[in-house]
Amino acid sequence: MNKDKLINRFISGDKTAINDLYAEYSPRLYRFAMAYLKSESEVLDIVQEVFVNLWINRNKLKKDSNLDAYLFTVTKNTIISVFRKKLSEKDYLEHLKHKVIINSIDTESQFNYNQLSKELENLIEQLPPQRKKIYQLSKVQGLPNNTIAMELGISVKTVEDHLSKASKFIKKNLTELGFLALLFIDLFINSK
């Protein structure tokens, strides 16, 4: 699905575009939020809130808007709000006090999508040339492994091996940046 065309349809008022956006992004948002909140009702509320926010602010989007960045920001802020609300509940605080997430929310909140995206680009540049090319064909252009293998004249297994090693390298280095980096990995690296 071409994201630019989808965004243009959405901005132009095509009501079916919100359904397509939901189909494209909601599984990622649901999976991510469930990993942190463990409550289906809270997760469903978060996913719904993200899309309500998207609909309300559709007139502010531009045709060249980075929808991934927008959804990342809304999701990040919503999850942090949920954690902050829970911090005020004594029993929940006791349950979470040993988790790194709570300790890092405030100290890591200055990270944003653009910083993490730039860090991702830097890490991709550090990959060996063949691995970098395979990673970009897969994750940036969205080509399936068998197409990449045919295009480069290598086996599908070799493509999978390069992608696995590239993902491990990127995740290892991004994870060191803290809570919001974990959000970024889950939303934009694991799901691609």
pLDDT in tens, 40-53: 888 899 999 888 88
User: Using one digit for the tens of pLDDT, what is the confidence trace for 67-124?
Assistant: 777 787 788 788 888 777 766 555 555 555 545 444 444 444 445 666 777 888 888 8
Specify burial of residue 68 (Cβ count, 10 A radius: 0-12, 13-18, 19+): middle
Does residue 185 lie in a domain region?
no
Q: Are residues 32 and 104 in the same domain?
A: yes
Q: What is the pLDDT of residue 107?
A: 43
Q: What is the pLDDT of residue 33?
A: 80
Does residue 78 lie in a domain region?
yes
Q: What is the pLDDT of residue 98?
A: 46
Q: Are residues 118 and 90 in the same domain?
A: no
Residue 48 structural domain: 3-110
Q: Are residues 93 and 127 in the same domain?
A: no
Does residue 184 lie in a domain region?
no
Does residue 38 lie in a domain region?
yes
Q: Are residues 66 and 158 in the same domain?
A: no
User: Using one digit for the tens of pLDDT, what is the confidence trace for 128-178?
Assistant: 999 999 988 887 777 889 999 999 999 999 999 999 999 888 888 877 666
Sign of CA dihedral 136, 142, 144, 147: negative
* Residue 33 identity: A
User: Which of 110, 125, 156 finishes a domain?
Assistant: 110
Q: Are residues 106 and 151 in the same domain?
A: no
Q: Are residues 106 and 118 in the same domain?
A: no
Q: Are residues 68 and 141 in the same domain?
A: no
Both tokens assigned to 134: 């395979």
pTM of the model: 0.51
> In this structure, what CATH number is given to the domain that contains residue 160?
1.10.10.10
Q: What is the pLDDT of residue 100?
A: 47
Q: Are residues 15 and 101 in the same domain?
A: yes
Does residue 42 lie in a domain region?
yes
CA 18 – CA 10 distance, rounded (Å): 6
Does residue 191 lie in a domain region?
no
Tally of domains within the chain: 2
